[in-house]
């Protein structure tokens, strides 16, 4: 009995020490809230991300890992779908309050009578890469060679689908002259390329890095930088963003401001830290090809990100021009779309910088 009581007393004395150690380990070096911390009484927001492990959507998980959501006073639950279009579906269904995906969905949705807006613009370029299978490298030299080909996209109706169709049409190939194949990203995309299910496809890092490391394909169009976006699409193409239903934004401005504060702080942090430092903050299983390869993938994609969450001035016009080239809901109706209603800078302009 004495031994049992002594053991219980020792355990009780050790608990505060263990708690202190855990707090010290989980608190950010800059004093932010511990990663995964919750805020008592803070608003709760569910955000669906079109692939949490994709580098183009890195700010979502990074904000969580840095503890910036809790610091801003909002409780965020991050959820994941393989494609941005699926995140949009969840948003429209009311399953979540926000979606992290491509800004072009807001333009597409307005054409369909839906009011959705980007409230934090993460990027100014798509971050996408058209990769040609090593077996077809000699046959596919540009979008003009898409005719008759099987081209991988994350899903039909996704932004990779949109961009693939634009690159085809821009090079004289109609959307009916090739076959878009939904192959997701990551290992499913790589397997499709290895098995010959697709001749080429559009994907992002870290999938791109894995394909190149294994010599499974070569880069045809690289849109991970502003210059790459201009070369392929004719201008800056704002892509990854936090977008929400306009009615919800107007009814929950204080909560949206908290989200903007958190994301803008993350974008600023990314701008002042190395790819290696960023990679070290992310979940270990995101680095499927190893830490060095993952850091290299982040480095290749970093130029696409904004530093302040602000929509690039001429970006929406480029998106409208791209969708207008092929999209049946947009083509010929460009004059009826009010781009000013597809995004807002109200919240990021008020977010603390630095």
Q: How high is the pLDDT of residue 285?
A: 93
C-alpha gyration radius of the chain: 22
Task: Please tell me the pTM assigned to this model.
Answer: 0.87
Beta bridge partners of 129: 203, 222
Q: What is the DSSP letter of 97?
A: S
pLDDT at 31: 47
Contact 241, 309 (CB under 8 A): no
Q: What is the mean pLDDT of residues 256-265?
A: 98
Contact (CB, 8 A) for 139 and 145 = yes
Is residue 53 over pLDDT 50? yes
Q: Quick: pLDDT tens for 94-135.
A: 999 999 999 999 999 999 999 999 999 999 999 999 999 999
Q: Above 90 in pLDDT, residue 64?
A: yes
Q: Is the pLDDT of residue 9 over 60?
A: no
Q: Is residue 148 a contact partner of residue 73, using CB atoms and an 8 Å limit?
A: no
- What pLDDT is attached to residue 38? 79
| 84 touches 243 (CB < 8 A) | no
What is the arrangement of strands in the sheet containing 150-153, beginning at the earlier edge strand? 179-182, 150-153, 200-203, 128-133, 217-223
CA proximity to 318, closest of 230, 242, 241: 230
Residue 354 confidence (pLDDT) above 90: no
Longest Cα pair distance anywhere in the chain, in angstroms?
86
Question: What integer best gives the mean pLDDT of the chain?
Answer: 90
**What tokens were used for 260?**
């903007």
116, 343 contact by CB (below 8 A)? no
Q: In this model, does residue 17 exceed pLDDT 80?
A: no
Q: What pLDDT score was predicted for residue 86?
A: 80
**For residue 55, what pLDDT band results from cuts at 50, 70 and 90?**
very high
What's the pLDDT tens digit per position in 129-185? 999 999 999 999 999 999 999 999 999 989 999 999 999 999 999 999 999 999 999
pLDDT of residue 353: 81
Q: Among candidates 352, 313, 324, 332, which has minimal Cα distance to 108? A: 324
CA distance 60 to 245: 18
What is the C-alpha separation between 297 and 207, in angstroms, rounded? 9
Domains annotated for the chain, with CATH where assigned, are 44-125+238-341 (3.40.190.10), 128-223 (3.40.190.10)
The token duo for 154 is 């994350």
Q: Band the pLDDT of 191: cuts 50, 70, 90.
A: very high
- Residue 34: predicted pLDDT: 61
- Residue 122: phi and psi, rounded to 5, are -75, -35
Q: How many CB atoms lie within 10 A of CB 180?
A: 24
Residue 1 scores a pLDDT above 70:
no
CA separation for the pair 207, 51 (Å, rounded): 12
Q: How many CB atoms lie within 10 A of CB 39?
A: 17
Q: Which of 132, 178, 185 is nearest to 158 (CA)?
A: 185
Supply the pLDDT for residue 39.
Answer: 82
Question: CA–CA separation, 276 vs 198, rounded Å?
Answer: 33
Q: What is the pLDDT of residues 223-255, one digit of tens each?
A: 999 999 999 999 999 999 999 999 999 999 999
Non-local (6+) Cβ contacts of 18 within 8 A are: none
């Amino acid at each position: 009995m004495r031994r049992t009581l002594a053991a219980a007393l020792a355990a009780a004395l050790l608990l505060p020490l263990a708690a202190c150690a855990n707090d010290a380990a989980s608190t950010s070096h800059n004093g932010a809230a511990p990663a995964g911390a919750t805020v008592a009484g803070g608003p709760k927001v569910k955000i669906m991300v079109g692939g949490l492990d994709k580098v183009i959507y890195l700010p979502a998980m990074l904000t969580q890992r840095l503890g910036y959501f809790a610091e801003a006073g909002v409780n965020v639950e991050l959820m994941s779908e393989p494609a941005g279009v699926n995140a949009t579906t969840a948003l429209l269904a009311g399953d979540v309050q926000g979606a992290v995906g491509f800004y072009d969905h807001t333009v597409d949705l307005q054409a369909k009578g839906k009011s959705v807006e980007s409230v934090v613009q993460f990027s100014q370029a798509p971050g996408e890469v058209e990769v040609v299978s090593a077996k077809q490298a000699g046959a596919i030299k540009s979008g003009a060679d898409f005719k008759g080909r099987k081209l991988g996209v994350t899903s039909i109706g996704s932004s990779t689908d949109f961009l693939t169709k634009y690159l085809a049409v821009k090079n004289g190939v109609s959307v009916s002259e090739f076959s878009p194949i939904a192959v997701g990203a990551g290992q499913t995309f790589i397997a499709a390329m290895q098995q010959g299910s697709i001749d080429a496809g559009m994907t992002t890092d870290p999938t791109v890095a894995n394909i190149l490391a294994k010599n499974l394909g070569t880069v045809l169009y690289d849109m991970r930088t502003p210059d790459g976006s201009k070369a392929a699409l004719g201008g800056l193409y704002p892509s990854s963003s936090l977008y929400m239903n306009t009615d919800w934004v107007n009814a929950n401005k204080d909560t949206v401001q908290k989200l903007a504060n958190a994301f803008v702080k993350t974008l600023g942090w990314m701008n002042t830290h190395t790819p290696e430092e960023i990679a070290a903050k992310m979940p270990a299983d995101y680095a499927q090809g190893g830490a060095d390869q993952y850091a290299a993938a982040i480095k290749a994609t970093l130029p696409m990100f904004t530093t302040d969450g602000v929509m690039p001035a001429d970006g929406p016009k480029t998106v409208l021009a791209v969708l207008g080239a092929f999209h049946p809901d947009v083509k010929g109706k460009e004059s009826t779309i009010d781009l000013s209603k597809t995004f807002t800078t109200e919240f990021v302009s008020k977010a603390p910088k630095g």
